[in-house]
Structures are given as structure tokens and as C-alpha cells.
Amino acid sequence: MRRFVISIMLLLCSLGAAAEQYVDDGPFRVHYAAVNTTALTPEVARQFGVARTRNEILLVLNAQQRIDGRYVPVPATASGTATTLLGHVQTLELRAVREAEVHYVVASFQTLDGEFMTIDAQVLPQGANAPLQVRFRQQFYRD
């Protein structure tokens, strides 16, 4: 289990290149990342319930709450979409995944090689009064 958590955290850190990807609202923060599933190890893909294919992308959301000056993971629910530049919309089937004390909300979606996708997600951390809006655009390439 510990190895799985470390693998996911390394994956999330590597996706942001030089900067972390997150949104803040009051005491809540949502980290987000989207990666081609071929970048996952077979073990991590199984844990998240996704196939390792060239056209499948895994979206990972991690909600946190600031308590006593540090951020701690909290459960969350979410809804969202992935939209191409041409307007093709995929509704994301976001589901909760828990590993030890870390809570994730994940979904997978399909993309073409070189395609730009706009990801919109509304994430409601436990204890929050309103969802946090996560919106980003990313270009995806097949490995």
C-alpha cells in the first residue's frame, strides 16, 4: 500500500513539471493531474481500475483542507466533463478511491493523439459549503 501511495504522489509531482497544479478556495485545496494511462505501472492502473491504453487518460483529483497550518487529505465528491476543441463532450464518471489516509477522485476518458482537451470539474470536499471549480486545458499525446 505504501508503495502505491508513493507511486501516485511521484506521478502527481512529475505531471506539474516545474509547478504544482491546484486550486485554492478558503481552507480547501484541490490538486489535479491528467496523464496517459500508459504512463502508469500495471499495479497503479489496477488500483485505479483503468486500462493502460494509448488513448485513455486518467484524471486524478485530491482534495485537502488546511488544518493547523498544513493541508490534510479529505474525502470529496465531484462531477465534470472533458471537452475537445470541436465541442465533443465526455461526461466524466468520477469515483472515489482511498489508499491509506489519502483520498482521490478519479475518472478516465478517451482522447486522440495531439488532442487538446478542456477539463471542467466541480469538486466538493467534505466540510466545504460549495464546490471548488477545477478547469484546465491540456494537450495529450500517445506514447
Encode the chain (143 residues) as per-residue pLDDT tens digits.
Answer: 445 444 554 454 444 444 689 999 999 999 999 999 999 999 999 988 999 999 999 999 999 999 999 999 999 999 999 999 999 999 999 999 998 889 999 999 999 999 999 999 999 999 999 999 999 999 999 87
The type of residue at 90 is Q
Q: What is the pTM of this model?
A: 0.86
